[in-house]
Structure 1
Amino acid sequence: MGDGHSWTAAPAAAERARSVLAAAWSCAVTADGGREEFVGAHTVDEDGRVRLSVPEDSALLTAAICAPRGEPSAVLEFADVAPVPVRSRIRARLWLAGWFVPEDGCLAFQPTRVVLKPPTGAVVVGLEEFAAAAPDPLAAAEAQLLTHLADAHPDAVERLTRLVRPESLHSAVRVQPLAVDRHGLTLRIERSRTHGDVRLPFHAPADDVSQLTERMHVLLTQAAAASCPRALQRQRTDGDG
């Protein structure tokens, strides 16, 4: 995508849900009155359909094979965990309700309801919208990108706070990169007892890492032209004292 205006400053719920699904390494399955945790056991088709490889002695496999069509009802839960250590690291949860069908040596999940729950509240995602959406192009690389930014370039993170409204930085004790997607970067601003998030939108979407690099350079250039927030000036002075 070029630098046109046919984009939004934040991902839609369906795109966010598919991104959570694409990046998740584990999932919890509740079915037939039991709950099992699976790590590295699921794959995702292009239409968002989840396929789960389970041990032969799994109660979930037995229930799926023996159940009538459309049963057992099951819920898959995925957690979107911030890769950088921050308070409240769960950025969102994704629930898929439906049933399993044994297929080609695995369990294929047929969803009947998709619910995404970010901090702002739960959102029901339409099934057709969910199937048609694509994950954010940076979803698979996000963890590495954010940890590199936090560990190797803390000075850049501090510089980016110059783009944040001063009132949002009041009493800030630490700022960390919380999330990045094709539309922008989100910073977590931690205070002594509370925290808040601030989003810095890109001037245009980034469809790959090279475009993200350019978008970040633009933000840093804008930040360099802004004055240093007084809250962080005081914080730096107190830390040097």
Structure 2
Amino acid sequence: MGDTQDWAAGPGAAERARSVLAAAWSCAVTADGAREEYVGAHTVTGDGRVLLDVPEDSALSAAALCAPRGEPTAVLEFADVAPVPVRRRIRARLWLSGRLSGRGGRLLFQPTRVVLRRPSGAVLIDPAEYADARPDPLAVAEAHLLTHLADSHPDAVERLTRLVPPQSLHAVTRVTPLALDRHGLTLRIERARAHGDVRLTFHTPADDVGQLTERMHALLTQAGAGCPRSLQRHRADGDR
């Protein structure tokens, strides 16, 4: 298994892009040759436009004021970082190209080009499809849910490995929850010098945390029905 991720039965590219945007806390903005990074300075409208609250003396504000038509072009970059420490922690990057304009003391960014890069490659998303998409209902809660699963329920994570094909667990050193959305849970399988990801799909999508609890219990029940396979045993097998 290589450094790839199986997104079968997962969110489409437009939904994934909106999820990255919804969960991101920081962004980098490039306009008029200047690049600035902001933390907690953006909000998102229902159709995917971005409102930026930046200092008046920032290069970005200066670019907006000095643009010939008052609407400079800009590129916004967002990184989707796994909340649990793993190798290659960046799960995706989102680039939005478009124009800036003033709105009530803030800057309004209108995307005209949307590019999402995941481990499987980059996808150019139609701006209208992006505007119509909605973020995954678990996107904002995902970081808390994954860290809670990893920190408080390692026994459940190990039990879920019973759903992973045995060949994918050869010489495993650690299994960590990597991603979560309404369609399923992705586990990161780490070895001494390599890693790969395995997708565990829910029987039906979960539209809120309450439904997610039921879907996770269903996965654990399914895992309990199989033959127990201890991570310690697989570690030992990989060392032979």
Same fold per TM (> 0.5)? yes
Relative to structure 1, the CA distance from residue 236 to residue 143 in structure 2 (aligned partners, 3 Å threshold; closer, same or farther) is farther
Does residue 89 (structure 1) correspond to residue 89 (structure 2)? The answer is yes
Identify the residue that residue 4 of structure 1 maps to in structure 2.
Answer: none
SS of the residue corresponding to residue 117 of structure 1 reads strand
Matched, 1:203 2:203: yes
Q: Which aligned runs of 4 or more in structure 1 are off by greater than 6 angstroms?
A: 236-239
Give the 3 Å change call, closer, same or farther, for CA 77–54 of structure 1 in structure 2.
same
Match of residue 38 from structure 2: 38
Calculate the TM-score normalised by the size of structure 1: 0.92
| Residue deviations 1:163-197 (CA, integer Å, cap 9, x gap) | 00111111110000001000000000011011100
Question: Does structure 2 retain, via aligned residues, the 8 Å contact 1:97–1:111?
Answer: yes
Question: 8 Å contact 1:100–1:107 — kept in the other structure?
Answer: yes
SS of the residue 1:147 aligns to: helix
Pick closer, same or farther for the CA change 1:115–1:129 going to 2, 3 Å.
same
> 1: distance between equivalents of 2:230 and 2:60?
56
Q: Determine what percentage of the aligned residue pairs are the same residue.
A: 72
Go from structure 1 to structure 2 and tell me whether the alpha carbon gap of 1:35 and 1:199 turns closer, same or farther (over 3 Å shift).
same
Matched residue, 1:3: none
Once residues 69 and 221 of structure 1 are traced to their aligned partners in structure 2, the CA distance between those partners, rounded to angstroms, is 61
**2:126 is aligned with what amino acid?**
G
Residue 108 (structure 1) aligned with residue 86 (structure 2): no
Q: Matched residues in 2 for 1:238 and 1:169: separation? A: 9
Within 5 A, what are the aligned runs for 1:56-67?
56-67=56-67
5+ residue gaps, structure 2: 1-7
Which secondary structure state, in structure 1, belongs to the residue aligned with residue 159 of structure 2?
A: helix
Residue pairs, 1:27-176, within 5 angstroms: 27-69=27-69, 71-176=71-176
CA distance in 2, matches of 1:13, 1:64: 30
Distance 1:237 1:148, change over 3 A: farther
Tell me whether 121-130 or 64-73 shows the greater mean CA deviation. 64-73
Separation in structure 1 between the aligned mates of residue 86 and residue 235 of structure 2, nearest angstrom? 19
Once superposed, what is the RMSD of the aligned Cα atoms? 1.7
Superposed CA offset, 1:44-63 (max 9, x none): 00101000000010111111
In 1, are the aligned partners of 2:75 and 2:97 still within 8 Å (CA)? yes
Say whether the 8 Å CA contact 1:115–1:124 is kept in structure 2: yes
Q: CA deviation at 1:235?
A: 2.2
Structure 1 CA distance for aligned equivalents of residues 216 and 70 of structure 2: 47
Distance in 2 between the 1:112 and 1:228 partners? 51
* Uncovered stretches (5+) of structure 1, i.e. residues with no partner: 1-7
Q: Number of residue pairs matched?
A: 232
Given the two structures, how large is their TM-score scaled by the length of structure 2? 0.93
**Distance in 2 separating the partners of 1:121 and 1:161:** 27
Amino acid across the alignment from 1:151: D
Measured against aligned partners, the alpha-carbon deviations of 1:79-129 in whole angstroms (never above 9, x if no partner) come to 000001111110000000111101111000011100000111000111010
Distance 1:93 1:204, change over 3 A: same
